[in-house]
């Protein structure tokens, strides 16, 4: 195992992690921003109001994106497992 190989594997793992987390984080960001703008325009000062829409948006996004997210994780895991003989050389 060379240092370049380890760095490449770590980069691929980080890339997959970001790719899998991005839809949920993006939905939470968009819904949070929309609720914050709504709260600012109506002058509502309740900070706990943002949690329910964010949770619902993330749950809806999870139902939509979960098959794709699982496929990305399975592909990465299969790639790592099938290359174990190469890793131990």
- From residue 39, give the alpha-carbon distance in Å to each of 11, 17, 35, 43, 88: 40, 32, 6, 6, 56
Q: Can you tell me the distance from the alpha carbon of 73 to that of 71, in angstroms, rounded to the nearest whole number?
A: 5
How far is it, in rounded angstroms, from Cα 70 to Cα 73? Answer: 5
Q: How confident is the model at residue 44, as a pLDDT?
A: 85
| Cut 0.85: pTM above it | no
Tens-place pLDDT, residues 22-80: 999 999 999 999 999 999 999 888 888 889 999 999 999 999 999 999 999 999 999 99
Mapping DSSP to helix (H, G, I), strand (E, B) and coil, where does residue 51 land?
helix
Percent of residues in the chain assigned helix, strand, coil, to nearest 5: 90, 0, 10
């Amino acid at each position: 195992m060379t240092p370049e190989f380890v760095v490449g594997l770590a980069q691929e793992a980080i890339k997959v992690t970001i790719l899998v987390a991005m839809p949920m984080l993006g939905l939470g960001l968009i819904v949070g921003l929309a609720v914050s703008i709504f709260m600012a325009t109506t002058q509502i000062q309740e900070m706990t109001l943002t949690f329910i829409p964010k949770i619902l948006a993330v749950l809806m996004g999870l139902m939509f994106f979960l098959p794709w997210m699982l496929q990305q994780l399975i592909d990465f895991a299969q790639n790592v497992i099938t290359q174990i003989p190469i890793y131990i050389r």
